[in-house]
Amino acid sequence: MHPNRSPNAFLHRLLVRGTIRKKTLAILAVTFLSSFLLLHTVSQYVLLQSFKELEIHTTRHGLTQIGKELDASLEVLDTLTRDWAWWDDAGEFVASPTSEFIATNLGDETFVGMKVDLVGFFAPDGREVSLHLYDAAQGKQVEVPASLRAVLQERQGLVSMWIQKGCAWGLWFFPRDRCSLPRVPS
């Protein structure tokens, strides 16, 4: 390589033999490049880290709020189902189902008022006594799909029951959701 074409020779010519205009342009270019790199580094390690922390904080706060809302909803549902479970008429209906009980207590307004879509009554052995489904979009009760009935008959294990302090309670576990079962005297 020719000695005049090496990087050192270029810098030497720029610094020694270059005009003031070339030197000023070189200094401005180096200053701009170093400022850009400094700005990029600060934004990567300071600003982006701050945004990540803010996003994590916001997400945690949102999840906490969702958890509180879910707990409140489950508490309301638990109270509702407990009231129905302790109600003598409901117990008598499970022992001896009548269409009068359904007509009197399971109208469309019941589903709307309780904000539920499904009401089921099951005997202590897990046998279905009565199952009612409300479609909010249609504003009326609809036929319970045979597939749901089949799942409930085939998979008695979907219902998990616990007995505690003289009461039985539990949850149904479905692939996408869960449903509270009332607390009833065991």
Same-domain check for residues 3 and 39: yes
Q: pLDDT, tens digit, for every residue of 148-170?
A: 888 777 766 555 555 555 555 55
Nearest to 2 by CA among 10, 15, 18: 10
- For 8-49, what is each residue's pLDDT tens digit? 777 666 666 667 887 888 899 999 999 999 999 888 888 888
pLDDT tens readout for residues 57-76: 999 999 999 999 988 887 88
Rounded to two decimals, what is the model's pTM? 0.51
> Which residues fall within 8 angstroms of residue 27, CB to CB, at 6 or more apart?
none
Tell me the mean pLDDT in the region 95-113.
88
> What was the pLDDT predicted at 56?
95
Rounded distance between C-alpha atoms, residue 172 and residue 159, angstroms? 5
Task: Tell whether 178 and 136 lie within a shared domain.
Answer: no
9 and 33 share a domain? yes
Query: Into how many domains does the chain fold?
Result: 3
Say whether both 7 and 76 belong to one domain: yes
The per-type count for the chain, helices as H runs and strands as E runs, is 7, 6
Domain boundary among 43, 68, 86: 86
- Give pLDDT, residue 3: 52
8 lies in which domain range? Answer: 1-86
